[in-house]
C-alpha cells in the first residue's frame, strides 16, 4: 500500500458485505406450500364428493330393494287369492256328479245335482286356464328396465347379495305367469270394418231397422267372406271384443243408432240435425261367446235417418282384443 494513496485519501476502509441467500429461497417455499395446500383441499373435496355419491346410490338401492320386496309380496298374495278363487269352482264342479235325467228326477223324492250348462262350464274352464300373474313377461321386462335405471340390475351379477333372492323370485313368478298363456301365434285374430255409402231412412215403419253395409273395408279372420250387404257379426271365437261405430245425420233428420247383442240393447249414438249434418260415434267392449250376434239398428226410422255418400260416413268396426 503506497503512502501517496493514504495521504490523498484514495483508499477507504469499509465493513464487509454479506449476501442473504434466504431471501431468494423464501418465494419457492411459499409456492410449494400453496400448491400442497391446494392439492390437499382438492383431494379432500373429491373424497367427500365420492362419499356423498356412494351414499346417494346406497339410498337408491335400499329404496328400490324395499319397493321390489313389496311388489313380490303383493304378487304372492294376489297369486294365492287367485288360486283359491279358481280352486273353489273347480272343486265344486268335480263333486257335482253326473247328469241326471229329468224324468228320473220326477220319480225321486230328492232331486240329484245337475251339472252347470255349457256356458258355465266354459267359464270355469276359462278361469282355470287363466291362472296367470297380474304381470307377465312384458311387466318383468319393464321392471328390469326400472331396475337398470336405479342401478339395481347389478344385483343380478352379485352372488350372495341379500336382494338376489328377490330378483330370482320375481323371475320365477314371471315364468309361472307365462305358463298356459297363448303366444302371439296362438292368438286368434279377428278384426273388421264395414262402411255404407248410401242414405238410410226415413221409412214409414217405426220398428227398428237393421243397418246394412255395402262395403267391407277390412275382414281379418274372414267373418264376412262371401256375404253381400253384411249387417250381423256372428261370433265364431269367444273372447273380449271392442266395437265402435259412427254415423252422420241428415239435414232434416237426426240420427239414432243402437248397438245390439242377441236382440238386447247395449248402447247408442245420437246426432242432431241443423243447418248442416250432425255426426256421432260410440265405443263398447263386450265379452262374447261363440254363437253371439252383434249388429247396428236405426231406432224409429220414421223419425231418424242416416246420411252417407261416396265418402262413407257410416261405419261399423269390431276387433278381438283377446280370446277366452
In the CATH scheme, what architecture does the domain 191-323 have?
Sandwich (2.60)
C-alpha cell belonging to residue 235: 261370433
Cα–Cα distance between 132 and 155 in angstroms, integer? 26
Least trusted range by pLDDT, from 73-77, 123-127, 199-203, 319-323: 123-127
Contacts of 237 (CB under 8 A, 6+ apart): 188, 190, 221, 290, 320, 323
Question: Domain segments of the chain: what residues?
Answer: 27-97+119-181, 191-323
Q: pLDDT tens, 195-204?
A: 999 999 999 9
Backbone angles phi, psi at 264, to 5 degrees: -105, 135
Cα–Cα distance between 75 and 147 in angstroms, integer? 17
pLDDT class for 49, splitting at 50, 70, 90?
confident
Hey, which bits of the chain come out as E strands?
A: 191-196, 209-210, 215-220, 233-234, 239-248, 255-261, 264-271, 279-288, 293-298, 314-323
What is this structure's pTM?
0.47
Cα–Cα distance between 48 and 211 in angstroms, integer? 76
C-alpha cell belonging to residue 20: 442473504
Least trusted range by pLDDT, from 103-112, 217-226, 314-323: 103-112
* 3-state secondary structure (DSSP) of residue 183: coil
* 3-state secondary structure (DSSP) of residue 239: strand
pLDDT class for 53, splitting at 50, 70, 90?
confident
Least trusted range by pLDDT, from 7-11, 44-48, 249-253, 302-306: 7-11
Amino acid at each position: 500500500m503506497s503512502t501517496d494513496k493514504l495521504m490523498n485519501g484514495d483508499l477507504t476502509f469499509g465493513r464487509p458485505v454479506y449476501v442473504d441467500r434466504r431471501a431468494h429461497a423464501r418465494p419457492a417455499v411459499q409456492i410449494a406450500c400453496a400448491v400442497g395446500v391446494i392439492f390437499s383441499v382438492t383431494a379432500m373435496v373429491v373424497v367427500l364428493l365420492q362419499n356423498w355419491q356412494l351414499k346417494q346410490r346406497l339410498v337408491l338401492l335400499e329404496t328400490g330393494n324395499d319397493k321390489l320386496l313389496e311388489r313380490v309380496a303383493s304378487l304372492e298374495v294376489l297369486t294365492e287369492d287367485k288360486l283359491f278363487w279358481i280352486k273353489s269352482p273347480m272343486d265344486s264342479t268335480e263333486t257335482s256328479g253326473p247328469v241326471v235325467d229329468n224324468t228320473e228326477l220326477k220319480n225321486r223324492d230328492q232331486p240329484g245335482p245337475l251339472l252347470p250348462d255349457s256356458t258355465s262350464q266354459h267359464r270355469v274352464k276359462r278361469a282355470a286356464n287363466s291362472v296367470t300373474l297380474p304381470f307377465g313377461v312384458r311387466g318383468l321386462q319393464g321392471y328390469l328396465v326400472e331396475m337398470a335405471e336405479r342401478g339395481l340390475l347389478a344385483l343380478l351379477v352379485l352372488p350372495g347379495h341379500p336382494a338376489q333372492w328377490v330378483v330370482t323370485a320375481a323371475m320365477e313368478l314371471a315364468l309361472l305367469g307365462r305358463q298356459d298363456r297363448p303366444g302371439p301365434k296362438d292368438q286368434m285374430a279377428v278384426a273388421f270394418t264395414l262402411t255404407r255409402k248410401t242414405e238410410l231412412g226415413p221409412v214409414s215403419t217405426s220398428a227398428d231397422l237393421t243397418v246394412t253395409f255395402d262395403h267391407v273395408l277390412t275382414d281379418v279372420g274372414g267373418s264376412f267372406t262371401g256375404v253381400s250387404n253384411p249387417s250381423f257379426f256372428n261370433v265364431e271365437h269367444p273372447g273380449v271384443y271392442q266395437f265402435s261405430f259412427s254415423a252422420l245425420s241428415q239435414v232434416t233428420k237426426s240420427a239414432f243408432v243402437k248397438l245390439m247383442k242377441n236382440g238386447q240393447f247395449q248402447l247408442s249414438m245420437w246426432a242432431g240435425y241443423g243447418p248442416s249434418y250432425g255426426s256421432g260415434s260410440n265405443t263398447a267392449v263386450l265379452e262374447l261367446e261363440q254363437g253371439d250376434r252383434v249388429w247396428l239398428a236405426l231406432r224409429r226410422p220414421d223419425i231418424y235417418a242416416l246420411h252417407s255418400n261416396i265418402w262413407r260416413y257410416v261405419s261399423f268396426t269390431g276387433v278381438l282384443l283377446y280370446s277366452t
